[in-house]
Homo-oligomer: A and B are copies of this chain.
């Protein structure tokens, strides 16, 4: 059995009885029932994912996967393609937004070259390259089915390694010039959204760039969407190396009962692909934030997920997911550290 098939077979939904047990514990804390709102919901979700009513404080990692995209040739990004390589170098030097926010969250950062056009051969970059950039999805498949499986398995392997090292909360991050285009195509394929509603300005294309991007999304959808035989085929035809890698990370984490904070639009498209491959993976996902990218709404709706934060972010890299880590810590600490009505001698209203 392959690592992918084995992982898909191992994923089972979190036990809702554990979430109920966690909620009962929260109801005994010195506060009106439910008054910590979505923080309580989050504590219950983390508990159920971990399989224990009172989970440990999370040990955290952000996995930033990078890849290049043939569709950049269609003029769909405001930045030149070499920026993917340059930003990966920035990640391993610790100067990027995700480095700052991961330090702030107390999370380690794992940087993986899943398929940057020119290999990023720098200390601290994991070389799990599947190819030197994908094919131009407006004209051809992004990758072969075997490449998609290899990228998924690279993500699964990283999740397994992190879980074995004791990591209990993973955030998804990505870097890849033009990668909002394959994300839009995949999101449209999985949700049925139109090219116009799913496509946004990414890092900031102008009106002409947006028109080119919508056109590229339309052509890619026409070429691949009906032809895609299954979710793996969809990832291969319309995805990207880092997108498939993140889908694998989600699957591997779910199989290890490690909850995943899903960052923005691109991570969301990857998570949606993962859930189409293994629906039970959904129970391990927490949507970190709603990005400015308009298609993100459709992705979140398809995941049936309400994001924790809405801060008008559109940077990617996992920055929104890293910001949400503090809320997960806060939720778990409430559960672990708050006094009960009985402990504190406080009168309970019973409501």
| Stretch of A107-115, A121-129, A150-158, A305-313 on the interface side | A305-313
A235 to B: closest C-beta gap in Å: 26
User: Is A93 interfacial (CB-CB < 8 Å)?
Assistant: yes
Chain B residues with Cβ below 8 Å from A203 are: 32, 35, 349
Chain B residues with Cβ below 8 Å from A326 are: 104, 323, 326
Contact between A347 and B313 (Cβ–Cβ < 8 Å)? no
A300-331 contacts to B (CB < 8 Å): 308-315, 319, 323, 326-327, 329-330
Contact between B337 and A100 (Cβ–Cβ < 8 Å)? yes
User: Is A3 interfacial (CB-CB < 8 Å)?
Assistant: no
Stoichiometry, copies per complex: 2
| A344–B308 CA distance with the chains assembled, in angstroms | 31
Interface 0/1 of A63-82, CB less than 8 Å to B: 00000000000000011101
Point out the residue from B32, B35, B344 that lies within 8 Å of A95, measured CB to CB.
B344
17 pairs from A and B in contact (CB 8 Å cutoff): A31-B96, A32-B78, A32-B204, A35-B203, A35-B204, A36-B97, A36-B319, A37-B312, A39-B311, A39-B323, A78-B351, A86-B347, A93-B344, A96-B339, A100-B330, A100-B338, A104-B333
The 3 closest A-B pairs by CB, nearest first: A95-B339, A37-B312, A35-B315
Contact between B344 and A35 (Cβ–Cβ < 8 Å)? no
| A96–B32 CA distance with the chains assembled, in angstroms | 12
A88 to B: closest C-beta gap in Å: 10
Q: How many residues of A contact B (CB 8 A)?
A: 59
Chain B residues with Cβ below 8 Å from A37 are: 292, 311-314
Knowing A36-B313, A292-B37 touch, does A347 contact B83 (C-beta < 8 A)?
yes
Point out the residue from B29, B30, B31, B100 that lies within 8 Å of A334, measured CB to CB.
B100
Residue of A30, A34, A93, A310 most packed against chain B (CB within 10 A)? A30
Chain B residues with Cβ below 8 Å from A95 are: 30, 337-339, 343-344
| A345–B85 CA distance with the chains assembled, in angstroms | 11
Knowing A100-B334, A101-B334 touch, does A339 contact B35 (C-beta < 8 A)?
no
User: Is A87 interfacial (CB-CB < 8 Å)?
Assistant: yes
Interface 0/1 of A16-52, CB less than 8 Å to B: 0000000000000111111111110000000000000
